[in-house]
Chains A and B, each alone.
Chain A
């Protein structure tokens, strides 16, 4: 979804302006338009909150929400909560990424691994695994281990599925040529199959990352304690709606930064791939 905007100027607009000056003006108008609707939303929020249509409990003014974030930042709560949420989400994401790719690779190389994991993945992937959260709490308590576990349970499936499909989709000709030139199995895997499969594996990781964050927030809300989700839940119990809205803004920023960073990493890692040159379509 990173491509929603970039695709417009780059993606071969049929009526795009050819002249250089015109293109500059076009970029200028475009970048203004990008900020415009976000600004409009912010102003509308502030105006609506001050107009008295909603009580401050229902909709605290944007300025007071930003003020609250500032206070949290000064007192350090913001950093502790953000760091804890990020720590849980990213550790779990790393486990799912490594574990998912390994299971996916095993499934495509080994018949028994495929036989065992295939039904588990095809049944487990579409399940709402968040329902197992109380079971995980029952087993592992309410601390980091159980939060990370439930995130891994949720985030590992897209990675496995993407890896299996990606390896299946590697062109036969590539494998045959490598074999023909005398590549061993290991070389084949590291130098041909994994690089050729990496764009789709990356797509799986790009699904898993936001999912990790969603589940991290839910787990924190349910189990309490520190963390962005836990802080929001505490604020909500004390009917402190300014802090609840501050929490949303904070979580939104964290989510945005993570997703953007992931798209950037993808572009970096896959710079050799033809998709880097093609207009983004996803």
Chain B
């Protein structure tokens, strides 16, 4: 307890510094409202449901896009490692699309699917698919030959081998790719909502900023930042559990 307090003390100090600087009005209070007022504004928004309803629609978009990306990306990656023709066909496409800054797709997904959920889900799906694909591909490709050979000599069918040998050995890198995708999904979600949306965290931040209610805007920003952090930590816990069978 004491140890983790000392560990996270710098964050507490930063929070105190924020409050003090704002209270002393070293910077204008519209640029930096005191932390306490930000927290109060956040609680108010939770009470009147504004934060919850916008948050729910944001999380739905991120969740749906990410789920699609994991399913499609994972399958494609393992298929690329499993069957050479698929690799030959898809590797060049993966290679040219991987470095594309995914945020460039925001206006296009809007052209295709409009301002609602669909365009965000498509954006997150497209943006997050390739890290998952590459993780799955590298993981499956590096499955130990000895394991593959023993499975084959013990008479495992190709499909059995895929399921029992290749997929488990692809797991660590696949899960790592999904972690990258998780972080990316938050970035894409917030940026697309900031730019064009009718609800969601990013939209809320934009509206509050335009209205000049900066304490509420800060509250939403902190809330999104915290959610991204929490999602990553929860994911790490799940990963640890999933990979407990290793060594």
- Asked whether A and B interact, the reply is yes
Interface residues of A (CB under 8 A from B): 1-2, 4-5, 8, 14, 30, 33-38, 41, 57-58, 115-120, 123, 126-135, 137-139, 210, 213-218, 221-222, 228-229, 232-233, 235-236, 241, 244-245, 247-248, 251-252, 255-256, 258-260, 281-282
Which residue of B8, B98, B103 has the most chain A CB atoms within 10 A of its CB atom? B103
Of the candidates A245, A247, A256, the one having the most CB atoms from chain B within 10 angstroms of its own CB is: A256
Query: Would you call A58 and B112 a contact (CB within 8 A)?
Result: yes
- The listed residue (A36, A130, A138, A251) touching B100 by CB distance below 8 A is A251
User: A127-B225, A281-B142 in contact; A218/B191 too (CB < 8 A)?
Assistant: yes
Stretch binding the partner chain, chosen from B17-25, B41-49, B216-224, B237-245:
B216-224
- B214 with A138: CB separation less than 8 A: yes
By a beta-carbon cutoff of 8 Å, the part of chain B in contact with chain A is 6-11, 14, 30-31, 87-108, 110-112, 134, 137-138, 142, 145, 183, 186-187, 189-191, 194-195, 201-202, 205-206, 209, 214, 217-218, 220-221, 224-226, 228-229, 231-233
Contacts known (A4-B95, A126-B228, A126-B233); A134 close to B194, Cβ less than 8 A = yes
Smallest Cβ distance from A116 to chain B, in angstroms? Answer: 5
Per DSSP, chain B at the interface is: helix
Chain B residue nearest in CB terms to A263: B99
Contacts of A41 in B (CB 8 A): 93
- Complex contacts, A126 vs chain B, CB 8 Å: 183, 228-229, 231-233
Q: Which residues of B contact A260 (CB under 8 A)?
A: 99
Contact of B138 among A213, A235, A282 (CB under 8 A): A282
Contact status A210-B190, CB under 8 Å: no
Q: Please, could you name 7 A-B residue pairs with CB atoms under 8 Å apart, sorted by A?
A: A34-B91, A118-B10, A119-B8, A127-B226, A131-B221, A214-B101, A248-B108
A119 to B9, CA, bound (A): 8
